[in-house]
A and B are shown apart, each in its own frame.
Chain A
Amino acid sequence: MVIKLENLTKIFQPGDAPAVDNLTLEVDEGDTCVLVGPSGCGKTTTMKMVNRLIEPTDGKIYVENEDVSKKNPIQLRLNIGYVIQEIGLFPHMSIAENIATVPRELRWPKQKIQERVDELLSMVGLDPELFRNRRPSDLSGGQRQRIGVARALSADPPLMLMDEPFGALDPITRSYLQNEFLRIQEKIKKTIIFVTHDIDEAIKMGTKIAIMREGKLVQYATPDELLSAPADEFVVNLIGGNYSIKRLHLIRVEEILKEPFTVSPEDSLDEAKEVMEKSQLELVLAVNGEKHLEGLVTPSSLRKEGERVGDVMDTPDLTVDSGATLNDALSVMLTNGEGYALVVGDENRLQGVVTLNAIMEALQDNEK
């Protein structure tokens, strides 16, 4: 699904400065194009012109080579997923009814709608049995935002518009949902137009970033290009220095994972000590047969009384999920004052270890 904006202009009141000024932009299939800029830069207006919530004053928008102004707006919108901040959920409907909004408009059979709702709830990590019949008011902000994403995906639209979807969340939940969304996007590969005012979010979520100022496009580039070659002073200020730290958002922990040294909770302490000596980290992880993370063995736990690893191991904290960025991993390390973070995948399955050294090496490689 390729999207082309051609000389797009929007003037709300005749005589006013244009909200969007002669904007030309092309989004490729499967790209996440992040529109970013200070408030009032026209990013939301641009996005709303794509699904014709706002009609352009001038210029054209093509979705898959079709001029959207020639399409029925209802048909157009039914094929474009739309996510806005959490206020967009319907408070008088259950979660299932909320998610089923578009399928119901499309008159899908009941059975098919129910299956799709359950599928989507599982996909965004909420148990359908528990959540199907709840109301939005029973949910936390993060859960509501997941429902918003599930609702937009309900009819499997090839294109998604997302307007500050994670804006109203606390930083921890936001980073968690961002990672989760990236993981989902890897599977579903939608073409996405994503609006945010947060440059860090843009760098993290975008495959392409469009920086806007006063209705004009300032720079359109990949996150990497943006960090290495900002177009002008405005972009430099928006990124706000600390380039190396920004790059932490770009690299995923998966890319620098180290194979962990593991034992089984059934092993004896002597076996654990042997493994510990081999590891340079003074850190051994206890996993069961299916690689589920069970516990953490450090030199101090080995000094405790006990026969088996299971008796002395500590509860593993310091975990990040496999979609996390180096920034997430680093923040876990700094919060806990340790030089490592454990990476776990689905069902708490151990994937590896990220160390402080590995992060520094990755940054140096990336700079080159």
Chain B
Amino acid sequence: MRNKWVKRSIYIAILLAIFVGYPWYNIANPADATVARGLMPENVIKYGQDHLVLWGAAILVATAIGVAAGILISRPQFRFVAPVVVNIANIGQTVPSIGVLAIFMGLLGMGFSTAVFALIVYGILPILRNTYAGMITISPGIIEASRGMGMTPYSILRRIELPLALPVITAGIRTSSVMIVGAATLATFIAAGGLGAIIVTGLSVMRDQLFYTGAVMAASLAILLDYILWIIEEEAQA
């Protein structure tokens, strides 16, 4: 038990060390004045914060909508729409993330809220699909036993279906989380900030130290958040 938490803390510490240490080192040792300008500490912190906020807002809303919609289309009354919804979700998934951003920029203009909105739509799909899959793969015998014993539909959902579908649902949330961290690097194209700004600057001024910094921060953030979600999932099931 204690051993488990020691291991988890070490892992989180390593990921945090990469997320903080790598930009720190580059800020302290810029190759030239251009890199130094691109890596002003207050800007790096700002972009990191933007990225976290983009991710946080998008994953929270996407989870709420995705889980609710997934449950809804798994109900017997609505199951006939499920194939349509799941297929639309699958097709939606094939649109590249930059395309999703572009579509919403066309509709809503530039800015932070557009980016959040696009990321939410992008993130709903895996959560919705997994929630639906998790709900319909529960053995019918289990549902029938709970109905036969007199459980209310609400009790069955809360005590039986959701706990049994939880591992599949959280797998969807984690997939979505990693996708959102990645896609959020594109938010800079619609002036919504985020770690993508460092990468794009690095590319335009041709300084690899810059875009490596942005890329490593985004990647380590994705892994770190995924790991934290995994811990939450494990604890929820225990």
Residues on A close to B: CB < 8 A? Answer: 48, 51, 53, 74-80, 82, 84-85, 87-92, 101-102, 105, 151-152, 161
Contacts and interface: CB of A to CB of B under 8 A. Distances in A.
B148 A82 contact: yes
Interface in B132-172: 139, 141-142, 144-152, 155, 160, 163-164
Give the secondary structure class of B's interface.
helix
Contacts of B155: 105
7 contacts: A78-B150, A80-B150, A87-B139, A88-B142, A90-B164, A91-B164, A161-B148
Nearest to B151: A105
B148 A77 contact: yes
B152 to A, nearest CB: 6
B150 A74 contact: yes
Contact of B152 (A74, A85, A91): A74
A87 B152 contact: no
B144 A101 contact: no
A102 B148 CA distance: 10
A48 B148 CA distance: 8
A53 B147 CA distance: 8
B141 to A, nearest CB: 4
B142 A105 contact: no
Contacts of A79: 150
Interface of B: 139, 141-142, 144-152, 155, 160, 163-164, 237
A311 B213 CA distance: 84
B144 A75 contact: no
Given A51-B148, A53-B147, A82-B148, 15 more contacts: A53-B148, A74-B150, A74-B152, A77-B149, A80-B150, A87-B141, A87-B145, A90-B142, A91-B142, A92-B164, A102-B149, A102-B150, A105-B150, A105-B155, A152-B149
A53 B144 contact: yes
Given A78-B150, A105-B150, A84 B164 contact: no
Task: For the complex of A and B, list the 7 residue pairs with the smallest distance between their C-beta atoms, beginning with the closest.
Answer: A88-B145, A77-B150, A78-B150, A87-B141, A82-B148, A92-B163, A82-B149
A82 B237 CA distance: 27
Contacts of B163: 92
Contacts of B144: 53, 84, 88
B152 A82 contact: no
B145 A84 contact: yes
